[in-house]
A = this chain, B = another copy of it.
């Protein structure tokens, strides 16, 4: 039953985000249609929606207001989509393929891609601050602050800068790569998990446990990505495979070797599952998600 449960709930997150983004990106008199089209191209019909799923599931461990949960899920996905658009740019990863389709800068042009990314970032903060009232603003402000810290200079963007520096360096060690991953991809995944706990008003211990879970899961996600890059084919991934190897880029896999990397992934999985213990049966879907992240084939 648990696998069905997980897949059903992941499917629910997919629909929730799709509908929410469509509503936020509906045509209006103020927004240029070119911009909306670019934002839609890069955010609709794609992605696993893992982060929104995590918001939903950690929120379900507590007593969380559903509208805030949905808003946080959509906002976090906006940030994820913005980061992919900018990562793919010619001056960054120079990627032409994403989710089996041309990347946004390839599909439209570089300037539009930069601006669509910019406005998806803004949209995340707009969504989290919409319709503020004296009652809901304290939670909204906490979500906004946590999100900003996870995606700015001390989080995702900081990690991207470190990643770019590492690509040019010949002396990248295990600690460097851990730092890159924990900022570049880990921080947002971890915050997605934490967001549910914030909205649910979790106590200190529960919130720390959820953060630990998110950190382990985030790192596991990235490590699995690196393993898939070595093992996978372009067709399976919907993006160019073997890119890290071809570019000689240092990854956890290249530093640890394939066997130790697989063991490390297994340890991270165990660590994530351990962090969920205090939540008993209620966390069963999050356990399934953990297994999915560590065992997926694309």
Contact = CB atoms under 8 A, between A and B. Distances in A.
Contacts of A149: 126
Contacts of A165: 32, 34
Interface stretch (A11-19, A57-65, A130-138, A203-211): A130-138
A234 interface: no
Task: Label chain A's interface by main secondary structure.
Answer: helix
A199 interface: no
Contact of A34 (B118, B122, B133, B161): B161
Nearest to A131: B145
A30 B132 CA distance: 31
Given A118-B118, A158-B30, A126 B145 contact: yes
A109 B132 CA distance: 39
Nearest to A36: B153
B111 A164 contact: yes
B34 A157 contact: no
A38 B55 CA distance: 33
A144 interface: yes
Contacts of A158: 30-32, 35, 119
A121 B156 CA distance: 13
Interface of A: 28, 30-32, 34-36, 39, 86, 89, 91-92, 109-112, 114-115, 117-119, 121-123, 125-126, 128-130, 132-134, 137-138, 140-142, 144-145, 147-149, 151-154, 157-158, 160-162, 164-165, 183
